[in-house]
Amino acid sequence: MKVLAIAPNGVRASSAGTDGARRAALAEQLDDKTWQSIETVAPRVQRWRYVETLGYVRTIERNHKAMPRVR
């Protein structure tokens, strides 16, 4: 499994075949390792079902925020 990017809460989004998103981010002179950059270029990456990936990561972020903090 390849790590695509790290979301703001530290969750790693992964998906096989998403190298296009990283290349697109670099082509636009964005940091290809930040989630914000990947979200920005996602609609312009051909043959990537980005809506599913972005929705998946957002669901994980929402669930992560809802979890009680452990000290």
Backbone angles phi, psi at 48, to 5 degrees: -120, 125
Whether 71 is in a domain gets the answer no
DSSP annotation of 67: S
Whether 59 is in a domain gets the answer yes
Domain that holds residue 29: 3-66
pTM of full prediction above 0.75: no
CB atoms within 10 A of CB 32: 18
Residue 18 clears pLDDT 80, i.e. is over it: no
Count of domains for the chain = 1
pLDDT tens column, 23-55: 888 999 999 888 888 889 989 888 888 888 888
Residue 57 clears pLDDT 60, i.e. is over it: yes
Close Cβ partners of 37 (under 8 Å, ≥ 6 residues apart): 5, 25, 28, 30, 31
Whether 16 is in a domain gets the answer yes
